[in-house]
Amino acid sequence: MSERPTEKTLAEQAPANHECRLCGYVYEPKKGDAKGNIDPGTPFEDLPITWRCPVCGARSNQFSNVGATNAPSGFQENLNYGFGVNNLTPGQKNLLIFGGLALGFLFFLSLYGLN
Ligand SMILES: [Zn+2]
């Protein structure tokens, strides 16, 4: 029988980004947080407990693991908790949001054109 691959997924290798559930700010370990004197390369788990969201001041326990950049799907079962949007990269979320807005705007324009 075939052996199960033991390599880790990209999402597991790279330190995971964490998104503030209150304001949507995303902490990226590779960037760190200049405002909070966090050096680039600091994993979220290693942030000091005094660290707060640089945008809204939320504590770190208000953050959700959203996976590593550009690696939205590691193991599916780890990503299906909470909201379904956890499967989306931030770029895909933006596309969803702004695509929805654009569609609404086009719909509005089409109504306007009928008058
Ligand atoms: Zn925040």
Q: Is residue 2 part of a domain?
A: no
Pairing of strands 26-27, 63-67: unpaired
The reported pLDDT for the residue numbered 94 is 84
User: Residue 55 C-alpha to ligand 1 middle, in angstroms?
Assistant: 5
The reported pLDDT for the residue numbered 11 is 47
Q: Is residue 4 part of a domain?
A: no
Q: Is residue 77 part of a domain?
A: yes
The CATH number of the domain holding residue 73 is 2.20.28.10
Task: Name the E strands within 3-61.
Answer: 17-20, 26-27
What's the pTM value of the predicted model, to 2 decimals? Answer: 0.52
Q: Evaluate whether 51 touches 38 at the Cβ level (below 8 Å).
A: yes
Mean pLDDT by 10 residues, the chain (115 residues): 58 81 96 95 95 96 88 50 64 86 88 76
Q: Is residue 30 part of a domain?
A: yes
User: Residue 36 C-alpha to ligand 1 middle, in angstroms?
Assistant: 13
In sequence order, which residues have a C-beta less than 8 Å from that of residue 77 and are 6 or more positions away?
A: none
Q: Is residue 32 part of a domain?
A: yes
User: Residue 32 C-alpha to ligand 1 middle, in angstroms?
Assistant: 15
User: Residue 46 C-alpha to ligand 1 middle, in angstroms?
Assistant: 18
The reported pLDDT for the residue numbered 3 is 59
| Phi and psi at residue 76, to the nearest 5° | -55, -40
> 64 lies in which domain range?
10-114
The reported pLDDT for the residue numbered 5 is 60
Q: Is 36 helix (H, G, I), strand (E, B) or coil?
A: coil
User: Residue 51 C-alpha to ligand 1 middle, in angstroms?
Assistant: 11
Domain count, the chain: 1
User: Residue 66 C-alpha to ligand 1 middle, in angstroms?
Assistant: 14
User: Residue 33 C-alpha to ligand 1 middle, in angstroms?
Assistant: 13
